[in-house]
Amino acid sequence: MSLAFEFCWLSPEEIAKSELFHFSAHRAEAVIDFIERTGVLLCPLWVRRQGTQYLLVDGYCRILWAERRNGRVPCIVFPESIPERELLSWKVFELLSRRDPDIIEKARIVKALSYFYPPDEIKERFFPLLKIPRKPRMFKTMLLIAGLDQDEVAEVVAGRVSEKVLFRIVWWDERSRRACVELLSILKCSVSLQRELVELIDDIARLDNTSRAEVIEQEEVRRVIHDSGLTPRNKTEFLRSFLRRRLYPALDRRERSFRKILKELSLPPDITLKPPEFFEGDEWNLNVSFADVEELRNRLEKLLRKETISGLKKILEDSDE
């Protein structure tokens, strides 16, 4: 195909924007900041002649900069005879030649392609290029991600909602999805903890036949999550423990029994007993604090008392039930 295009300078008022070509709107401020700091406009915009106006194909962030500066921008103008489908494909290939798009851009690309190509062709031709796994429901998953609002997109781009978690919660109802995104944005926890929390929320909702939002918005959870005196790590630990107790009532019973027997033992503050995490496993931790050999001897004597041994034995037996 031979291309007859021209080069010219245009004002933003002459260029119409189309959502079809806007993959990277969420990156606009970063690009504009780069232009402001360096004075480099990167490369010309791509526009297609459209009657007496021009349709923006590539350069969304740059044209926003030009609008703020009331300036003109360099443009490569493609003829009106070139169909949007071809321009879209070129834009995708041009982006991939420069860098890997993020998950939001990938989703928006898939949505744009869906206007011109059948799903099977997109999965066969474009998924490998975009490094999107060809799993069941993935095409629909990408369309759902493309529909996220600006606040949700910001949390995903910031890394507070991981891709794997996003692939799961994007199928939730809107209220539950928004509640989960807000929760994860507050906790700022690792990818593995994100996945564990989401799985617990999912399992509890199914078990109780309720929405995920109802699980997340419980009073006990909201009170802790919005407690400014707690660190994100403290909040995450509380929520993880709380959800596991909800899902596994036996765990809650064991914790209450453990606290009751431990209180009856009346161990001094310099002797602490810590159970395995969630009472899973056989490794318990006993910590004895002392300043000298005499103190150590006294602590050990207290531990070896008949009633203490009996209480410890009761705790271990209870954890095995």
Alpha-carbon separation of residue 279 from 95, 167, 212, 239, 321 (angstroms): 51, 31, 26, 17, 11
Mean pLDDT of 64-87: 88
pLDDT at 152 over 90: yes
pLDDT in tens, 19-57: 888 898 888 888 888 888 887 666 788 899 888 889 999
Tell me what the pLDDT averaged over the chain comes to.
87
pLDDT at 321 > cutoff 70:
no
Q: Is the pLDDT of residue 65 over 60?
A: yes
Structure tokens at 126: 């474009």
Burial class (CB within 10 angstroms; exposed 0-12, middle 13-18, buried 19+) of 288: middle
Using a pLDDT cut of 90, give the percent of the chain over it.
Answer: 50
The two structure tokens encoding residue 152: 């949700």
Q: Say how many Å lie between the first and final Cα of the chain, rounded.
A: 75
H/E segment holding residue 144: helix 138-146
In the Cβ-directed half-sphere of 162, how many Cα atoms lie within 13 Å?
A: 14
CA-angle at 142, arms to 138 and 147, nearest 5° = 145
The confidence score (pLDDT) of residue 185 equals: 96
SS3 for 56-101 is EEECHHHHHHHHHHCCCEEEEEECCCCCHHHHHHHHHHHHHHHCCC
pLDDT by residue (tens digit) across 245-257?
A: 888 775 666 777 7
User: 252 or 228: which carries more pLDDT confidence?
Assistant: 228
Give the C-alpha separation, 140 to 152, whole Å.
Answer: 18
Q: For residue 289, what pLDDT is reported?
A: 83
At 260, is the pLDDT very low, low, confident or very high (cuts 50, 70, 90)?
Answer: confident
**Mean pLDDT, residues 56-67:** 87
Of 77, 56, 78, which is closest to residue 66 (Cα–Cα)? 56
What pLDDT shows up at residue 319? 56
Residue 168 — pLDDT band, cuts 50, 70, 90? very high
* Residue 49, φ and ψ in degrees, nearest 5: -60, 135
| Per-residue pLDDT at 251 | 60
Residue percentage of the chain with pLDDT more than 70? 92
SS3 content of the chain, % helix, strand, coil (to 5): 60, 10, 30
How far, in Å, CA of 313 to CA of 318, rounded? 9
Number of Cβ atoms within 10 Å of the Cβ of 86: 14
Identify which of 59, 23, 25, 26 has the alpha carbon closest to the alpha carbon of residue 41. 59
pLDDT exceeds cutoff 90 at 151: yes
Closest alpha carbon to 105 in 130, 127, 129, 83: 130
Residue 284 pLDDT class (50, 70, 90 cuts):
confident
Q: What is the pLDDT of residue 60?
A: 87
Residue 254: CB partners within 8 Å, gap ≥ 6? Answer: 279, 318, 319
Reported confidence tier of residue 306, pLDDT bands at 50, 70, 90: low
**Residue 199 CB neighbour total at 10 angstroms:** 14
Query: What is the Cα–Cα distance from 68 to 172, expressed in whole angstroms?
Result: 38
Domains, in order of start, for the chain: 1-99 (3.90.1530.10), 251-320 (no CATH)
Query: For position 320, what pLDDT does the model report?
Result: 56
